[in-house]
Amino acid sequence: MKNGSPKQRQKLTVAAAAAAAAAATVPEPTTIDSIGEDLLNNILSRLPAESCASAACVNSSWNLIINRFLTLPNLSSALSCNPCLQDAVDEVVDKVLARPIRPQFVMASIGPSYDLEEAHYLITGRFGCKIPVITSISYGIFGQDANTNKFEEVQWNTMKDNQAHEDLRNVDEGVLVTVGFLPGLIVDLIPLKKARVLLIEDFMRSITDLSFSRSASSPMGILLFSDKDIDIKPVLAKLDYAFTEETVIVGDAGSRFLYQDGTISNRFNNTVSSSAAVALLFSRDTNKPPGVGETQFHVMLSTGVSPIGPIYKAVNVEAKFRDNSTQFMARTKGIDFYLDGETILDQIYDELGDHTHSQTLYVGVPKMRKCTFGDVRTSSMCMHEFYLVLRGDNEYLYVHGDGISDFDSFQFYHANPDLAYASCNDVSNDMKLLKEDLKHLKNDDHSNSNGSMHMHKKSVFGGMMFACYGRGKLFFGEPNVDASPFLENFPGVTFSGTYCNGEIAHGDYSFYIKESKGQSCIRCSLHEFSTVYLVMSYTPPALPED
């Protein structure tokens, strides 16, 4: 029989069905790709930066997922006070690279006990030669401790009399590293070179040419670091004239630093670079890929100086270039003779009730500066400039720096902790309004557990702070006053900063002068006893309509 009997055929059918059922119960081999995209994204986003870079090379699906969360804004920062420089650098770099990030720039601040060149070498060695890096010596650092994850305010003992103060660190050791990726922006590093004079025009031309080549517009922001031994005021006046307040300009005017610019020349040159100043330039990327939102900067200032005494006019002004100072006498309303420095200071300190003459004083001078840049015609701006008072004798008043001319008006200013405290509260209120306006980060139902995907709300993702080294615990009587506005409004968001000797923030700060003599706008770019806050926010691209 060709096909067998009916009974035989029934047995074969039953056997075939049993074999098929047995085969169906054998499980398919399980791979990591079968766990689902959301869970896979959660796993990959927790990898250290170097491991994440390797994972992106595994296959196209992993590469797509990793690139998706690497295009989100990221500011990562950590500090360490380990007395061993090598260990301190390793601790902070390991911390900032503990999660995936695609660094566009690196800023490092170190204590004065460390060797600047060695620190710069160690830090650039960890990040490679393709990333712009600035390493500077600061007066103190703020940030999250790499080991404890607690926010720390570290202020080193930089008092000129070299006497240790119990509220300040006697050992000037510590490292702060901040790494950033800002979607929609391109970051470049531009040095200000010095020959016999500062090459300001070349510096300005480099900024504008590069920014316009990137975005056909003015830069989004400039982070500026200048050497403590140069007069940065002419540079700031030129920047203030060339760019509106839409271009954020902040930084540290009194540091020592080294840098690498991240260009091809660095890859074949192991020497370190220094200059009179250096700028991190943030330009809008007009060729940004689809799905990338917009990074925005917000600047706030807490001032800490109050005017005191009458308005004077400087006379018999003489600049002393050897010691970078200026001496002059003064006149004031109702007095028809010249006042010497000792008489003036006695009057000011008497008004302050300071009979020991121990308080720090500045003179504030509104200066009409003639500015020009490129083909733009010459124009005048009223700039308010501060000069540290050094001393007074029976002839002259002496201030640090030059730039004061005969018949310039000036007024004294003194550090005022009550004003600074109130100003910090004002900044906190401004940040609260910003938070409400931006609808601080909330995730939709499709977000993964660590919040790194599907950002549909505006959010603040990071902040930086540049605070005068005269502030801090010794000034306020308690720690973290300057940091509190950000920490209270944006808990858990990356925030770091440094103590400076000259805080940069350009804008209209007419409140410094009570009598502006008809000036509708008084510019000021270099502040004293202040804290400058740079808050970073991100607006995701609009979601496509269903």
Instruction: Tell me which amino acid residue 244 is.
Output: T
Instruction: Give residue 448's pLDDT.
Output: 39
- ∠ CA 328-332-336, nearest 5°, is 95
Q: What is the 3-state secondary structure (H, E, C) of 27-95?
A: CCCCCHHHHCHHHHHHHHCCCCHHHHHHHCCCCHHHHHHHHHHHCCCEEEEEEECCCCHHHHHHHHHHH
Query: pTM of the predicted model, to two decimals?
Result: 0.85
pLDDT at 28 (0 to 100): 56
Average pLDDT (334-346) is 93
CB atoms within 10 A of CB 86: 11
Question: pLDDT grade, residue 352 (50/70/90)?
Answer: very high
Q: Is residue 506 predicted with pLDDT exceeding 80?
A: yes
Question: Is residue 166's pLDDT more than 60?
Answer: no
The pLDDT value given to residue 161: 41
- Extract the tokens encoding 391: 């001393």
Residue 177 confidence (pLDDT): 98
pLDDT in tens, 363-399: 999 987 777 766 655 677 788 899 999 999 999 999 9
Digit-coded pLDDT (tens) for 93-108? 999 998 888 899 999 9
pLDDT in tens, 256-300: 999 999 875 554 444 456 689 999 999 999 888 888 889 999 999
Averaged over 299-324, what is the pLDDT?
93
- Tell me: pLDDT of 10 over 70: no
Position 450 pLDDT exceeds 50: no
pLDDT of residue 216: 79
In angstroms, the CA 510 to CA 307 distance is 13
Work out the number of other CB atoms within 10 angstroms of the CB of residue 490. Answer: 21
Core vs surface per residue 351-361: b (16+ CB within 10 A) or e? ebeeeeeeeeb
Q: What is the mean pLDDT of residues 118-139?
A: 95
pLDDT band at 523 (very low <50, low <70, confident <90, very high): confident
Specify the pairing of strand 133-137 against strand 105-110: parallel
pLDDT the model gives residue 357: 79
Beta carbons of 291 and 262 less than 8 angstroms apart: no
pLDDT reported for residue 538: 93
Q: What is the pLDDT of residue 62?
A: 72
Run of H or E including 285:
none
Q: What is the pLDDT of residue 186?
A: 94
Q: What is the 3-state secondary structure (H, E, C) of 450-511?
A: CCCCCECCCEEEEEEEEEECCCCHHHHCCCCCCCHHHHHHCCCCEEEEEEECCEEECCECHH
Mean pLDDT of 130-136: 96
In this structure, are strands 503-505 and 494-500 parallel, antiparallel, or unpaired? unpaired
> By percentage, how much of the chain surpasses pLDDT 70?
77
Packing angle of the helix pair 200-215, 233-242 (nearest 10 deg): 30
pLDDT digit string (tens) for 48-95? Answer: 767 766 766 777 767 676 667 667 899 999 999 999 999 999 999 999
Q: Which of 516, 470, 242, 497 is nearest to 376 (CA)?
A: 242
Please give the Cα distance from 417 to 427 (Å, whole number).
15
Q: What is the mean pLDDT of the chain?
A: 84
Alpha helices in 162-308 (DSSP H): 200-215, 233-242, 264-267
Question: Which pLDDT score is estimated for 7?
Answer: 54
Quote the percentage of the chain above a pLDDT of 90: 56
CB neighbours of residue 280 within 10 Å: 22
Answer for the pair 248, 381: CB distance below 8 angstroms, yes or no: no
User: pLDDT (tens digit, 9 = 90+) per residue, 196-230?
Assistant: 888 999 999 999 999 999 887 889 999 999 998 88
**How much is the pLDDT for 188?**
95
Name the H helices within 161-316.
200-215, 233-242, 264-267
User: Which residues on adjacent β-strands are paired with residue 76?
Assistant: 179
Lowest mean per-residue pLDDT among 147-161, 185-199, 419-433: 147-161
